[in-house]
Amino acid sequence: MLRSFNNVSVVMQEVKCLVGGTSEKFIPEPMGEDITADLINGLRRFKDAARWKVYFELLQEEKDKENQSNGNIAATHKKKNKNNNHTTLG
């Protein structure tokens, strides 16, 4: 049985009668405020991640410099010890 509908509200009423309610799969369209809030939160997370990445890179550079300077000190100390280990027999 097909009917011709001239009014959109009549179609909506007929559909509501057929469906009998809201589907559990129905997801309402987010409001503009929610979209803006999600966007701002995403940008904050990105900014924080970028800051942490730079922080850890700088921290690693400092550790590398410290290890390199400690390695140079240890290497010169070892050379001095090798030269001073000569025993003289009297």
Query: pLDDT tens digits for 2-50?
Result: 555 567 777 777 777 776 766 667 777 889 999 999 999 999 999 999 9
Query: Which residues, in sequence order, are CB contacts of 38 under 8 Å at separation 6+?
Result: 30
Report angle CA 73, 84, 65 to the nearest 5 degrees.
5
Answer whether residue 65 is part of any domain: yes
Q: Which domain holds residue 73?
A: 54-83
Answer whether residue 8 is part of any domain: no
If one counts the domains in the chain, the total is: 1
Query: Would you state the pLDDT for residue 10?
Result: 77
Q: What's the whole-model pTM score?
A: 0.45
Answer whether residue 35 is part of any domain: no
**Ramachandran sector of residue 21 (left: φ over 0; alpha: ψ -120 to 50; beta: rest):** left
Q: What's the rounded Cα separation, in Å, for the pair 35 and 59?
A: 36
Answer whether residue 6 is part of any domain: no
Answer whether residue 66 is part of any domain: yes
What mean pLDDT comes out for the span 57-76? 84
